Every structure is written in C-alpha cells, then in structure tokens.
Structure 1
Amino acid sequence: MAEKMLQFVRLQQRQPEKRDAAERRGDWGEVYRAYAAEAAQQQASRCSQCGVPFCQVHCPLNNNIPDWLKLTAEGRLEEAYEVASATNTFPEICGRVCPQDRLCEGNCVIEKGFESVTIGAVEKFITDTAWEKGWVKPPAAVRERAESIGIIGAGPAGLAAAERLRTLGYQVTVYDRHDRAGGLMIYGIPNFKLEKDVVLRRAAQFEQGGIAFRLNVAVGRDVTLGELRQRHDALLVATGVYKARDIACPGAGLPGVVAALDYLIASNRKGLGDAVPEFDSGALDARGRHVVVVGGGDTAMDCVRTAVRQGAASVTCLYRRDKANMPGSMREVKNAEEEGVRFEWLAAPEAFTGTDRVEAVRAQRMHLGLPDATGRQQVEPIPGAHFTLEADLVIKALGFDPEDLPALFNEPALAVTRWGTLKVDHRTMMTALPGVFAAGDIVRGASLVVWGIRDGRDAAEQMHLYLQARAEAPAMAAE
C-alpha cells in the first residue's frame, strides 16, 4: 500500500516521549518511553522507500530497514519482526544501544530538510511487541548434527554465533568467565541504556533452544585451550577486549583514579543485586563525590550519566577535542548535558594531584591544529593555559585494548597482530590454530555491539563451511 509511505512531507519526526531529565536523574530507567502503536506506524510511514536505501547500506548488519518500516506502517508487526530478526540476532538490543545517529538514521536520505526516520525507536517497538506477543522463539534446529562447537565468550559476537550454529543443528557450548551471559551488554552498559532483563531473557531462551552455558569458567585457569580443542570439533574465540588504556601522567596511580570498566561493572553488579565490596566501601561509588571523567566516547558518556544517578556532587567530562569531534553518540552527549553533566572541551589532564588519594585534576587547554595523515586534526597544547578541577573520583574512559590471550590461554601458537588482536584469515575467520576461529572485538578492536553481532554471524557461517568440508573429506578420499 504505497499511499501509506513517503509521509515525511506531511509528518514531522517524533521520537518516543522523552522522560524529564530531573526524573531520569533519580532512577535507572530508560530515557525514552515506549511508542504507542499508532505513533510507531506514523513514524514508520515517513520512510521514502528510496531506490538505494542508505540506511541499510550503512548498517553493519545490512538490515532490511525499508521493508520492516513499510510492514510496520501497514500494521503487519509480526511480519516486520520476522524481517528484522532474519538479519539481526538481537534487534531489541540494537534498537536501544546502536548509535543510529551515526549509522542508519545519520544516512537516511530525508535527513537533510525533513529529519530522518526514527529507525531505532521503531526497531525497539517492533521487537518489544514481538516479545509481548510471544512471537520470539528459541533457536530451533531443522535437524541435529553430531559435531560439537565451543564458544569462548558470551558477549554479542559469541551469542550471535551460538544462535546461528544452533539453528544449523550443531551442539553448542558457550564458556564465559563471568557469572552471567551477555558480556559487556550485562556488565558494561548501564540500565538507562539497556535494561538487564532484555539481555537475560535472550540468554534464557537460548538455553531453552539447546545452547549450553558454562559460566564462571576462565580459559587458562579452569580449562586449557588444548582441552577445549579436544572436547569440540571447532572453537570460536569471542572474548572481547577488556584491558583499559591508561594515562601516562603524574598521579595516575593515586587512590580514587579508577578504570571506566571497573566502575561500570561495580555499578551494574550492584544493580543486579550482587555483593560488591568495592562499591560498598565507597571506592567505586560516586555518591557525594566530585567526579571527573576523562574521555569522549560512549563509555565516557555511560560513566558520567552513571555518576549522576549515583548522586555525585558534580560531574565533569574532560575531553581533549571539541564537541564536533567527539567519537561518542551526540544523542548521549545531549542526554548527559540535560542531566547536568559539565563538559570541558579541548582540555586534557596534565596531572592528578593529592596526598593519600586524588583531590584534583590539573588540566591543559588544547586547540586543534593541522590534519595528520588520517585527515583528523592534531591536538596541540596552548602554552600557559592551565586550570584545575576539584576531583575526588577520576574515571579513565580512554578505550580498551586486547588482553594478552596467548599468555592468558597458555597457547603461544595463537598469533596476534601488532595491536594485540587475534590474527585471523579474514576470508575464513580462522586463527593460526586449525579449527579455532575468532570474531568480534578480539579481532576488530573495541567496537560496537552491532559489529559484534555481524562478526559472530559471519564466523558461524565460516565454521559451518569448515565442518561441512571436513565431513565431506573422507567420502571424497574414498572415491
């Protein structure tokens, strides 16, 4: 029904109702309320159904966005969910945490002049409705296969691969060193962006579909990589990257200067009801503190907004570039500003000062100079432009690097790149060890949930091809 589409010429963009900033500061609920069905249909009808769907082109999963927008506009929500879930293992998660302003919505062809279609909010509406109506089913194998597959890491890449492989009939076991499946979706992303039940219900459903989880199992400590290779016909390493980048400046080792992931994990565990001594002691609790977060990515935004909800006395984000050059989502920056976070643009830490613990951050004003070889402007200090920020909790949110997996797994044959990520054949996604594949951030470097899902699905396809070829080899040799 073509008359239902191309409504951007008469309907304005309307996001779901946004909760007031004062209300948001006092709880951990999500920022936006749910769409009413009529509003979701109207917003979906704004899609222009363009011949070259740049929203789909710029989606890492190549989601069939125009198709499920049209189905939503027509009220065919179950079909819309089927289309959305055909290319995306976790559409309900991507609808919440993807930086749509940089991906699909940022490349919508009606963005210039009419504002983009609210793709993320409609995706969330479709999948939340699907869960309510019982349309979301556990992965079901068409026929069972004898081959066993082990997956190390229960984050987006590992779980996406597990779902694909289980659907193909393989016997899949997922190992993770944490006590819940989900990786950073559980422990790294705060509730106001992604409520934990959204992740946990998927993990529970995967168990119903026959995927086995072995939690609190660390490879190299509780089991060796060699043992897993003997136990399974193929392995996938999808551990993510957890090693925090540090700041090389005086005072970086003072008590009260903490890594972003330590801070976020403590907060999320507390919200899940776990005993968290580091939080209870006050070491990782921002209540009553003057908090300075160093960094400008999405992790930094998670930290500043978490500190606000914990009741910090003040929260400041220190970033060495300007607002236009922030790597994080502009929506997250806007939300943080609304919630009372102060931003110090073009400023970098020079030293952390204090006696027994951090008391202040001495910072240096910066300016953007000429572009470097990558085309990005270089950051240069302004001589004599120093200032001091009061701080009794400093959070370092400068990104993440891979852990030393060959040492951690006690497997020196596991080759790595000069960045420490696992080296793979990018055609087959196999590592230097036969039958051992790798996917997600441990190959790509720290990235988005949606890229983890894409990599996990791609790895599952390559593992399937590998196991098929191995099964056919004896028959071909006998001919």
Structure 2
Amino acid sequence: MAKQPMLKFVSLERDMPEKRPPDLRRADFNEIYAEYADAKAKEQASRCSQCGVPYCQSHCPLHNNIPDWLRLTAEGRLEEAYEVSQATNTFPEICGRICPQDRLCEGNCVIESSGHGTVTIGSVEKYITDTAWENGWVKPIKPKNERTESVGIIGAGPGGLAAADVLRRQGVQVTVYDTYDRAGGLLTYGIPGFKLEKDVVMRRNEQLEAGGVTFKLNCTVGKDISFAELRAAHDAVIIATGVYKTREIQAPGVGVPGLERAIDFLTASNRKSFGDAVEEFDSGRLDAKGKRVVVIGGGDTAMDCVRTSIRQGAESVKCLYRRDRANMPGSQREVANAEEEGVQFEWLTAPKGFVGDPVTGVMVQKMRLGAPDATGRQAPEVIEGADYVEEADLVIMALGFEPEDLPTLWGEPELPVTRWGTIKTEYVTGATEMDGVYAVGDIVRGASLVVWAIKDGRDCAEAILDRLNGAEAIAAE
C-alpha cells in the first residue's frame, strides 16, 4: 500500500524559506526570501490536512485549488501542480510573493487553529510556478482559433493583464493601452524589488506579447487617444486604470519642499532598478540617502516606503501611524521585516503640520484609541498637550489612494461613477451602463489587493466572451 503523502502537520513543523539576514538585505533590492529546495517544498506541502471544506480555498479571492496543488507538490508531480495552479490564477508566482497570505489563505488554514502552524501556502505557490518557468512548462499563448472581435484594455496592471490573458487564449484580438513605458502597473513601478523582483513581471509581459497581445505604451487616454476613439476601435473596452490619486492632508506647511507622495518615491526607486535616468532621484529629491525619513501611514504602501528608504541608505527611518500595531491595515509580516531592518514605528501618532521650508520636521500629535468607529475599529483621539516635533529631511505621504475623476479627464460625463469616484459596475461581470464598457480592479473597488484585481480581470473577460459568443450565435441564425 502506498505511503500516505499528506497530513504530516503533526510530525513536521511549519518552516518558511530561509530569510536573508537584515544586514545583507538592507544593502540591495533583491527578494528577501530564498527559494524552497525541492525536498523542502514537498515536505511543507505534505503538512496539508486535505480538509473536506478547505477554508484556505474559500478565503482566496480566486478560489485557488490549494489542497490539490499542495498534494501534487508533495507527490513530486510539479508540472501537474503548476497546471492546477495556473487554471485559476493568471499570475501565481506573483501572488505567492505579494499576497497577504496571513490575512487570506494561510490565515484561515485549519491546522493552525489546532496549534500546528499554518501550511506555507504562498511559498509553495511561488516555488511551483518558478519551477515551471525554469523547466519550460509555461508556454506562450496559442489560441486554437483566431477571432475578429477586439477588446481594448486601459491599464496594464494586474487586472488588465489578467483580462488580456483570458481573452487572448480564446483568440480575441487584445490591445492594452498604458500611460507608462513598461507594462505591469504597480507590479512594475509601485511594489519594490525586495518583494517582487522585476524580471518576474517582465517575463509575464513578454509571454503576453509573444502570445499576440498588443501593447501601446506611453499612451494616456484623454491625451494621446480619446475614450470615444477607443470605443469606436473595439468591440468592448475594459477600464483597468487603478487608483493613483494620493489622499491629501490639510495641515500647516503642506506643499513645502521635502514632502513627497509615496507613489512618486516608489516609482523613482523602481525606475532606478531598471537603470533609467530619473531626474528627481538623481538630483537627490527622491533619494533617501543620508536623510532622516518620516513616512506617514500604516498600510502596505507605507511599509514599502520605509523599507525602500532603508535600502537607499537613510540616516534614520520612522513610521507614524495614528492607531496601534494591532489595528494597522498593513501586513504584520511586513511590519516585522521592517523592524528587523531598522525601521522605528511611532504608534498612536498623527501629523499636525510641518516645520521648515524645505521641511525640517513634522509636528506630531499623540493619540489614544477611543470608541469604535463605523467599521468597528477604535477611533483615534488626540491627547491634548502631548505634541512634539519629529525631525525630518524627507517626509513621505503614504495615506492611501483615491480614484481620479475619469469622466472629467476623459470628457465622458456619461461614464457612471459612485459617490466615491470609483466606476459603477455590475457585480462580477464588471459591466457599466455604457454599452460595451467594463471596469475592473481598484478603479471599481478602491485601493485593494492585486489578487482581487486578477479575479476581477478574469471574471470580466469571461463575461465579455459570453457576450461575444452570444452575438456570434445570433448572427449565425
């Protein structure tokens, strides 16, 4: 009788891939986690309990068949594991790196509640697809039949690229328009290399291009091409622009030199990793080297900024957040990594204003947690008389993102938006009230996770295919 390959969580402890020491990883932008060796990947996958109701799968936005590909990995059937993983996720190696598994799949792993430590789902997911690339199992898209219909996608981020992949596999002609010079959106220019090395994103872009997806880069809708022209050129249009407008604060000193937006800081750093000439960085404006850096915010973008500043050689890096550690929205794993690398967190603090021109400090208010707000989180309250000044040469605002006013920017007042400025769509399909116009990802949800954008892109592409197939059937009658 064959030996049971699974349910080894009782005898095998959770073991993450080796993490590079802080003093080494502070010196570069390479990913901090090593790759699993084959034996270790099999071992960790074998800890899965193969639940009858897999909460890891139900709490994954893509509903990935996690127990199935864990078992296949434990059995050494890696190519099959890759096929199962790829069936529901367009970019599993990216999700394996940047998804907050501690809040999604791993955070709902049943064996953790029994005290055995969750299965390292994200690390195994990354290992499976990296191995697939190394062995040539990831093939260019080759549709069985080409179709005449075309879809234009505005935005080359994860939502737009996921939709492009699904549509192209069915032979639809796909053109992706993006304002940047490289595809990938925040995967390319927002997320630092120590979380997602850029060759991982570039090879997916190359796979899509080799499969027949047309990219029109350095192309801004409303400037280089109108939205009306896009609608006229395609059978359907998907809006996947994301949200890039930085939330602002109203306080004395806002606008002085030395106060920078997180997206500008991260984009400049990522461009330098490609070897680009970046005037704002080369001049020192967006370079943290030798500076006292203060980052305001508590989300994952703030974590990216503090850890980037460390790698750029900042003299000191502090993060101000108005709630305590337990109530911050960012990944606790990222907070721990930042602390290991030398970042100081000032919990229960908020900016009151800024000193100097250029900036020399942040006027800080001490806070305490009061009654819960509408979401159930305790609302921060100011402690009167406890203000102080935090010295700073560079202040980075990482307060989140809001949607741009697309109806105005594009001259399309009929484009339906919610009271928050996000595009108003049907649930699941992403269809708007404008015929043939769809929207996916953060421009619908507000700032959210990459995995949700992938989910939206895939669902929207399926809805468009249903529509095109329906029109084709009617035409054939």
TM-score (norm 2): 0.98
Q: Contact conserved, 2:62 with 2:89, CA < 8 A, in 1?
A: yes
Residue 468 of structure 2: aligned partner:
467
Q: Deviations over 1:345-396 (max 9, x none)?
A: 0111111111x20000111111111112321111111111112211010000
The number of equivalent residue pairs is: 475
Residue 117 of structure 2: aligned partner:
115
In 1, the alpha carbon distance for the partners of 2:371 and 2:136 equals 55
Residue 157 of structure 2: aligned partner:
155
Tell me which amino acid in the other structure corresponds to 1:461: E
Residue 204 of structure 1: aligned partner:
206
Q: Contact conserved, 2:296 with 2:395, CA < 8 A, in 1?
A: yes
In 2, the alpha carbon distance for the partners of 1:109 and 1:385 equals 44
Tell me which amino acid in the other structure corresponds to 2:47: R
Residue 101 of structure 2: aligned partner:
100
Residue 228 of structure 2: aligned partner:
226
Q: Contact conserved, 2:430 with 2:456, CA < 8 A, in 1?
A: no
Residue 67 of structure 1: aligned partner:
68
What does 1:65-464 correspond to in 2, within 5 Å? 65-112=66-113, 113-354=115-356, 356-426=357-427, 428-464=429-465
Change (3 A) 1:103 1:71: same
Q: CA deviation at 1:426?
A: 2.0
In 2, the alpha carbon distance for the partners of 1:38 and 1:165 equals 37
Residue 36 of structure 2: aligned partner:
35
Tell me which amino acid in the other structure corresponds to 2:378: Q
In 2, the alpha carbon distance for the partners of 1:374 and 1:337 equals 28
In 2, the alpha carbon distance for the partners of 1:367 and 1:137 equals 54
Q: Deviations over 1:422-456 (max 9, x none)?
A: 11122542122100111111011101110110000
Structure 1: unaligned runs, 5 residues or longer: none
Tell me which amino acid in the other structure corresponds to 1:470: A
- Greater shift after overlay, 199-208 or 460-469? 460-469
In 1, the alpha carbon distance for the partners of 2:354 and 2:118 equals 43
Tell me which amino acid in the other structure corresponds to 1:188: G
Q: Deviations over 1:251-277 (max 9, x none)?
A: 121110011001000110111111110
What SS is found at the alignment partner of 1:288? coil
In 2, the alpha carbon distance for the partners of 1:475 and 1:33 equals 55
Q: CA deviation at 1:63?
A: 0.3
Q: Deviations over 1:160-204 (max 9, x none)?
A: 000000011101111111100100000000000000000000110
Structure 2: unaligned runs, 5 residues or longer: none
In 1, the alpha carbon distance for the partners of 2:192 and 2:219 equals 24
In 2, the alpha carbon distance for the partners of 1:372 and 1:2 equals 53
In 1, the alpha carbon distance for the partners of 2:145 and 2:86 equals 21
In 1, the alpha carbon distance for the partners of 2:312 and 2:84 equals 39
Tell me which amino acid in the other structure corresponds to 2:250: A
Tell me which amino acid in the other structure corresponds to 1:57: S
Q: CA deviation at 1:140?
A: 2.1
Tell me which amino acid in the other structure corresponds to 1:165: L
In 2, the alpha carbon distance for the partners of 1:194 and 1:225 equals 32
In 2, the alpha carbon distance for the partners of 1:285 and 1:428 equals 42
What SS is found at the alignment partner of 2:385? strand
In 2, the alpha carbon distance for the partners of 1:108 and 1:361 equals 42
Q: CA deviation at 1:474?
A: 4.0
Q: CA deviation at 1:309?
A: 0.1
What SS is found at the alignment partner of 1:383? coil
In 1, the alpha carbon distance for the partners of 2:286 and 2:429 equals 42
Change (3 A) 1:122 1:428: closer
Tell me which amino acid in the other structure corresponds to 2:62: L
Runs (4+) off by over 4 Å: none
Tell me which amino acid in the other structure corresponds to 1:36: A
Q: Contact conserved, 2:327 with 2:377, CA < 8 A, in 1?
A: no
Q: Deviations over 1:315-350 (max 9, x none)?
A: 000000000011011110000000000000011111
Tell me which amino acid in the other structure corresponds to 1:233: D
In 1, the alpha carbon distance for the partners of 2:155 and 2:373 equals 37
Q: CA deviation at 1:469?
A: 2.3
TM-score (norm 1): 0.98
What SS is found at the alignment partner of 1:116? coil
Residue 21 of structure 2: aligned partner:
20
In 1, the alpha carbon distance for the partners of 2:374 and 2:24 equals 45
What SS is found at the alignment partner of 1:26? coil
Tell me which amino acid in the other structure corresponds to 1:225: F
Q: CA deviation at 1:2?
A: 6.5
What SS is found at the alignment partner of 2:69? helix
Tell me which amino acid in the other structure corresponds to 2:10: V
In 1, the alpha carbon distance for the partners of 2:52 and 2:104 equals 18
